[in-house]
Amino acid sequence: MQLKLSTRTKDGVLIFDCMGRIVFGDEAMLLREQVKKALPANKKIILNLGEISYIDSGGLGTLVALHTSAFNAGGAIKLVNLTKRVDDVLQVTKLVTVFAVYNSEAEALESFRNAA
């Protein structure tokens, strides 16, 4: 399934609801473009990955690049609702230590509030 993105704002945090696959090519490029376009005006971003069925190395590279871009812009990207498949990939690659990962959107929102 192609990647579909929708956005919403809650408590001043931009939330990207991601559905489908994050794979090398159009899907990864779509995510990269949308998040980078949003970064100048939104330093606090949550990627809701609860509906992501698959992620490949290109998708992982995109997440790392977005994490770095947000950090360099003085912002942060947090991941929530990881599916077992995405969680397993982040665990195996040790990228789970790079990202701020939360079980729920509420926990990620609270972490932004606590950091302020």
Percentage of the residues of the chain whose pLDDT score is greater than 90: 97
The CATH number given to whatever domain includes residue 66 is: 3.30.750.24
pLDDT per position as a tens digit, 5-46: 999 999 999 999 999 999 999 999 999 999 999 999 999 999
Number of domains within the chain: 1
Which helix (H) or strand (E) element contains residue 31?
Answer: helix 26-38
- Taking 70 as the threshold, does the pLDDT of residue 71 lie above it? yes
- Rounded to 5°, angle at Cα 77 from 111 and 14: 85
Residue 38 has what pLDDT? 97
- Taking 90 as the threshold, does the pLDDT of residue 115 lie above it? no
- Taking 80 as the threshold, does the pLDDT of residue 100 lie above it? yes
CA–CA distance, 59 with 111 (Å, rounded to integer): 25
CA–CA distance, 12 with 78 (Å, rounded to integer): 14
Q: What residue numbers bound the domain in which 73 lies?
A: 4-115
Provide mean pLDDT across the span 66-82: 97
Residue 29 has what pLDDT? 96
Q: If pLDDT is split at 50, 70 and 90, which confidence band does 116 have? A: low
